[in-house]
Amino acid sequence: MWLMDTRLNPYLSFRDTARSAMEFYQSVFGGELTVSTFADYHASDDPAEQDLVMHSELRTAGGLTLMGADTPSGMDLTPGSNYSVALNGEDDAELRGYWAKISAGGAITMPLEKAPWGDSFGMCVDKFGVSWLVNIYAPKPSA
């Protein structure tokens, strides 16, 4: 079972090679790799993008976390700047506070709001040009 503390980790962007890249990183670091496609979340109307990776996450027993995804054809991808810093967790107030501070003076590229997968998600570029992804996990139903 993974702890649901707030985490900060790299998020890599690819053009049609996320699956093979993440499988390669798994071969290097070990760990458990989970992969979701654009089709899984009905996130693209383009039939050519249905099997592409919308989100992948590699977690190792030693505490390493690496995330990655394919960039849809309608979005720019520049090699060398194809990364973001991901901030993930359950604490809504904490993460919204970070979001407010990190996006201040920068550019919000996707507002922090409910996403198709049920979490709250937003993207921004801070005032120093660093891309950030903030994901607030949706509350889990009580057992």
- Segment 5-64, tens digit of pLDDT: 888 999 999 999 999 999 999 998 999 999 999 999 888 888 999 999 999 999 999 888
| pLDDT tens-digit readout, 29-40 | 999 999 999 999
pLDDT tens, 91-111?
A: 999 999 999 999 999 999 999
Tell me if the pTM is above 0.95: no
CATH numbers and ranges of domains, the chain: 8-136 (3.10.180.10)
Instruction: Give 24's contacts (C-beta < 8 A, 6+ positions apart).
Output: none
* Contact residues for 26 (Cβ-Cβ < 8 A; gap 6+): 33, 58
